[in-house]
Amino acid sequence: ERRRLVREHPTVVGNLDGAPLELRYAANSRTAEGRYPGARVLAHDARGRGQTVLVYGDLATAERVAVVVPGSDVDAGRMGSLTRKATALREATGGRTAVVAWAGYTTPVGVGLDAASGELAEAGAERLLRFAEGLRAAGVRPEPSVFCHSYGSVVCGLAAHRLKAKDLVVFGSPGMRAENVAALRTDARVWAAKDPTDWIDRVPNVAVAGLGHGTDPTAPE
């Protein structure tokens, strides 16, 4: 029955949070085969710009799990920057960590109005929460560390109070829509980093009329 579902409804099975991992991998091998060398495809939705979730390592047996949430300009056809971060993180941990490259939400394009507003982040936060809950339902035991880059940190900030995570790491963040760590209402350890030359420093950390994402998470206060 499972093989029939994979054969007849691969796009449904392959994107069903909480379904057995191997079943999703099998379904997505039918729709995304050969597109992402070196990774197992946990989700692939080709509609619109497309959304894709890739896994490096074995989620079922890994000592640790990391999920990388990208910022602007990442989609099913533009995964290069995200996969480089994911593979570098896996290599840095000596291969003991299974790393998920999670392009599972609609990211902003460029630095326009979508990047300044929270609408895409709000939708992305709900998708990230469903994804994390689906991992637990599928038997993935390590609580993940979630690494959030640029606009992805807005997604993580909005999800933080419901996201079960060991660590919440943001880098190059325009803000998390929270004034401080306490306002995130999370039990995770929170880390924030930014390259001193990052262009994000030129973006004002304000929140006015729904635009802007608030306090710089790397600010000492």
How does pLDDT run across 211-221, given as a tens digit for each residue? 778 899 998 87
Residue 102 has pLDDT above 60, yes or no: yes
pLDDT band for 124, please (50, 70, 90 cuts): very high
Whether 168 and 149 have beta carbons less than 8 Å apart is answered as no
Residue 188 has pLDDT above 60, yes or no: yes
Average pLDDT estimate for 117-125: 93
pLDDT band for 118, please (50, 70, 90 cuts): confident
Residue 93 has pLDDT above 70, yes or no: yes
- Using alpha carbons only, give the angle 202, 119, 213 rounded to the nearest 5 degrees: 30
Give the contacts of 58 (CB within 8 A, at least 6 positions apart): 98
pLDDT of residue 25: 97
Whether 68 and 149 have beta carbons less than 8 Å apart is answered as yes
Q: Tell me the domains of the chain and their CATH numbers.
A: 38-202 (3.40.50.1820)
> Average pLDDT, whole number, for the chain?
92
Express as a percent the part of the chain with pLDDT over 90.
81
pLDDT of residue 199: 64
How does pLDDT run across 128-171, given as a tens digit for each residue? 999 999 999 999 999 999 999 999 999 999 999 999 999 999 99
pLDDT of residue 23: 97
DSSP conformation letters of 62-95: -SEEEEEE--TT-BTTB-HHHHHHHHHHHHHTTT
